[in-house]
Amino acid sequence: MTNISTARAARVTIAGAMLALLGACASTPPSGLAPVTLARQVDLARFAGTWYVIANIPTMFEGGAHNATEHYVLDADGTMDTTFSFRADAFDGPLKTYRSRGYVLDADHAVWGQQYIWPIRADYRISYVADDYSTTIITREKRDYVWIMARTPTISDDVYRRLLGIVEREGYDPAKVQRVPQASAR
């Protein structure tokens, strides 16, 4: 097998494992919890662009991530081409990149299905976006993973605590949320 086909097979295997891990089809809240709050009327054009992952409850693929970013491109068909990238285990670690497509599933544009491999779409919910689109919180109904993101690689401690409070009100354990190391100059 060539290096290219080996690399492609590895990416497909990793993406498949990621989908299995995320429980892509499950979108029911845990027993006793209300559905997560959703942002009102997300402007997809404003949401597009680069977001820095400030903190998260990481998936098994994100452990040790440094300089993690999500980059969204709004396509003409209304879907979001999504690229998640980070340096593994150090600021100069190997670059890891995962691509997916976001399919908007509601009229307010806050509930998406993130598709890594056809036909499975992982639960992705925009629970909060600042009025100026400077910060956002991405949640899942299962409360298993969460992402606090910003347009800049760092945010003030006050803003972080406020966002973490929102995460906690959504039913997440704030002790599980981990800061993602971000270099201020990229």
pLDDT (mean) for 70-84: 96
Residue 103 lies in a domain: yes
Residue 106 lies in a domain: yes
Beta-strand runs (E) in 89-179: 95-104, 111-117, 120-129, 135-139, 146-150, 178-179
Q: What's the CATH number where 169 sits?
A: 2.40.128.20
| Parent domain of 102 | 3-179
Report pLDDT for 30. 58
pLDDT digits (tens, 9 = 90+) for 14-62: 444 444 444 444 455 556 678 899 999 999 999 999 999 999 999 988 9
Q: Model confidence at 136, in pLDDT bands (50, 70, 90)?
A: very high
Residue 184 lies in a domain: no
pTM: 0.83
Residue 70 lies in a domain: yes
Interstrand relation of 111-117 and 120-129 (parallel, antiparallel or unpaired): antiparallel
- CA dist 143 and 169 (Å) reads 11
